[in-house]
């Protein structure tokens, strides 16, 4: 994401609140401000959990050691809280760490990405692609200018080369394409109604046989 200075990037709890306004699913979560509180929240949410740093100085959390997954007991959560804080401050000296987001880890599924941005030439645009190597190496993505109609979203999903994975291959069950189409239409609505959003990344979105869940969100505000 270009130009994502701290003042322009929404903290994840704020961004998640915006997702909830539009009915986009995100795992149960809470923000801890100490290792002890993180362990208490994790027990309340149920294991396993994911810990993610909340800091305006760490918009790319994974790059600075700000994300740890698969934690399944209180001592691990407490120790990881302290480790994340120390690691992030090693990478970003003086980082303003406002807490650690403790999130319920969801079951396995197919990972996709959904994004939106205000393109200089085309205006508000929505992007969709499969996650992982399909995006990073194969560039298997599709784009549409908003507002999207149902048929537009359906075409976006079906025109990528990895469409067969969504349908289900070698006897595996397919994934909830209708939920994915609904998400694309919702993101189209959001980027249309919220002109203050310069870019929106839902990466990854985990797709299941029934339903989906956005696991990470990054929203960049437009310059005022």
pLDDT digits (tens, 9 = 90+) for 62-113: 999 999 999 999 999 999 999 999 999 999 999 999 999 999 999 999 999 9
Cα–Cα dist 15/20, whole Å: 9
pTM of the prediction? 0.90
CATH code, domain with 169: 3.30.470.20
Give the long-range contacts of residues 138-147, CB within 8 A, separation 24 or more: 138/162, 141/113, 144/188, 146/116, 146/188, 146/191, 146/192, 147/188, 147/189, 147/192
Contact between 177 and 163 (Cβ < 8 Å): no
Domain finish residue from 37, 69, 104: 104
Give the domain range for residue 133: 110-221
> pLDDT digit string (tens) for 190-218?
999 999 999 999 999 999 999 999 999 99
Residues 149 and 216 in one domain: yes
Q: 148: which 2 tokens?
A: 């999207």
Instruction: Judge whether 181 lies within some domain.
Output: yes
Q: Mean pLDDT for the chain?
A: 92
Q: By mean pLDDT, which of 107-121, 127-141, 150-164 is the weakest?
A: 127-141
């Amino acid at each position: 994401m270009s130009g994502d200075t701290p003042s322009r990037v929404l903290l994840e709890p704020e961004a998640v609140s915006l997702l909830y306004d539009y009915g986009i699913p995100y795992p149960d979560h809470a923000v801890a401000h100490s290792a002890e509180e993180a362990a208490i929240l994790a027990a309340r949410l149920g294991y396993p959990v994911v810990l993610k740093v909340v800091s305006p100085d760490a918009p790319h959390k994974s790059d600075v050691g700000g994300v740890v997954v698969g934690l399944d007991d209180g001592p691990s959560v407490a120790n990881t809280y302290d480790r994340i804080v120390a690691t992030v401050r090693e990478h970003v000296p003086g980082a303003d760490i406002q807490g650690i987001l403790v999130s319920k880890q969801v079951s396995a599924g197919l990972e996709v990405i959904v994004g939106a941005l205000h393109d200089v030439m085309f205006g508000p645009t929505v992007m969709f692609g499969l996650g992982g190597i399909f995006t990073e190496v194969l560039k298997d993505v599709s784009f549409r200018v908003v507002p999207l109609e149902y048929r537009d979203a359906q075409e976006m999903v079906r025109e990528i080369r990895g469409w067969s994975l969504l349908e289900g291959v070698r006897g595996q069950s397919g994934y909830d394409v209708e939920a994915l189409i609904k998400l694309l239409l919702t993101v189209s609505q959001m980027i249309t109604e919220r002109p203050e959003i310069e870019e929106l990344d839902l990466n990854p979105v985990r797709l299941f046989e029934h339903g989906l869940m956005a696991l990470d969100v990054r929203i960049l505000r437009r310059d005022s």
